[in-house]
Amino acid sequence: MEHYRVAVIDDDKGNLKVADRILSLYGYTVDCLDSGEALLDYVKENKPDLILLDVHLKGMDGFETLQKLKSNHELRDIPVIFLTADTESDTETKALTAGASDFVVKPFVASVLLLRVKNTIELNKLQRDLKSEAKKLSSSIIEEHRRNERLSMQVVQTLAGAVDAKDKYTNGHSTRVAEYSREIARSAGLSEKEQEKIYMMGLLHDIGKIGVPDYVINKPTKLTPEEFDMIKTHPGVGYDILKNISEMPQLAVAARWHHERYDGTGYPDGLKGEDIPMEVRIITVADAYDAMSSRRSYHDVYAQEYIRSEFRNNMGTQFDPKFAQIMLDMIDEDTEYSMREDPDSYRVGDNGVTVEQNINSDKELVFGFLSMLEAGGLDTAIGMKYCMNDTEFYAEMLNEYTGSSDDRIRHLEECIACGNVEQYRVYVHSLKSASKTIGAISISESAAKLEEAAVNGDWKLIVDTTPDVIAELRGTVGSILMAMSIYGL
């Protein structure tokens, strides 16, 4: 990977540490800063490839900091991703309107943060490359054509990655669908040119999910009818995004019709049989296969025999029989079940349950430690998720949380004493994010209510409730310290 530098600005040490650990682990050079003022001093001597900027900062907030960056001609092209623990859609809208390239919610999910950072940097680099290329005269028409084809593929792949980054459960989905689609096309006897066309269509079939709220895409439980209606808008949104690409009109076709069914009961237009373009009928088969052979928020990886039965039972209804049969042949040839998400990290039993391949020799010790934290009120599944399932890193973040607790309490109490509601909001916002990162969900939810009270100016609720939250924080910190002492962490 090319060496990239990322500046992370957050006034919470825990968030800085998490971002630094995740990005450094994957080869990025990371510079951590704790304020907007510090960033403006930093960019006088440095020009990072990307800035991760917290919305809520002490002093100059993220929006004001971004405005100052954009007003500087030499700095305005540096892409900025906003960070926040806010869940309101208007915060995301305001961030993107202000000129941010993207928006990442805290606590960080490692895979989502990495994909958003990678895609934003690469998209920015592609845009700069394209501007540079536009200024040069081509020495060869053939070479220019080939270069444009390569750039088009890079842009398509980057956009596909941006879509997958919205859904933390489907990392790599678009690429796998594209690859399966190309293999079905090859087996069906289509030309190499047609295979590549279908591959690009597969990469962008889900582009419309960009227009669906993250909380709907990532919801781990059953969708409400209203939320399912939101999901069903993504084919139309994808079509609107891609329909003006006149050189590749087939991209919009796949985006609009990949949820049509062979029997005419699909959406959005109820197309039937061969009225559905052949390329889309292929992608529909590939899309369904990857949905069953990958982990989702609502199911684990299915066993091969279950997937076989689904294709057999739905030939002629959901799927074109010809292409469903090709997929069945591909499944029969895949005796090691390698045609699935991340096959090296786990195996799949006959019952469809995934089993991790790498079993930690210290499993009992880890289980005991996590169980004791659970007894102390932490949701360790959430904490481990935000710490990349790394027990040592989780322990490091717990140390950070306990070590900063006295300062957090002091700041909250001082704000109440002097009646500074704005600073109170900043500190309680930080407590909300840090608590969620380690799995202290009760404290995080209480802090969220106090933050809302600060925004609404409900000073009585703040004064009445803060002592209880501080007491809970002290109790949780005590439980964490006891567990870490017993297990020598």
pLDDT at 373: 86
Q: Which residues are CB-neighbours of 42 under 8 A, at least 6 positions away?
A: 7, 31, 33
CATH 3.20.20.70 fits 5-133, yes or no: no
pLDDT at 136: 56
| Tens digits of residue pLDDT in 451-485 | 999 999 999 999 999 999 999 999 999 989 988 88
Residue 304 has pLDDT above 60, yes or no: yes
CATH of 167-333, one of 1.10.4000.10, 1.10.3210.10, 3.20.20.10, 1.10.10.10: 1.10.3210.10
CA-CA distance, 210 to 116, in Å (whole number)?
13
| Tens digits of residue pLDDT in 132-187 | 665 554 444 445 545 545 545 555 555 655 565 555 555 578 889 999 999 999 99
| Tens digits of residue pLDDT in 195-247 | 988 998 998 898 888 777 777 776 656 678 888 898 899 999 888 888 877 76
Domain borders along the chain are 5-133, 167-333, 360-487
Superfamily holding 360-487: HPT domain (1.20.120.160)
Report the chain's terminal Cα–Cα distance, integer Å: 34
Please state the pTM of the whole predicted model.
Answer: 0.51
The rounded percent of the chain whose pLDDT value lies above 70 is 82
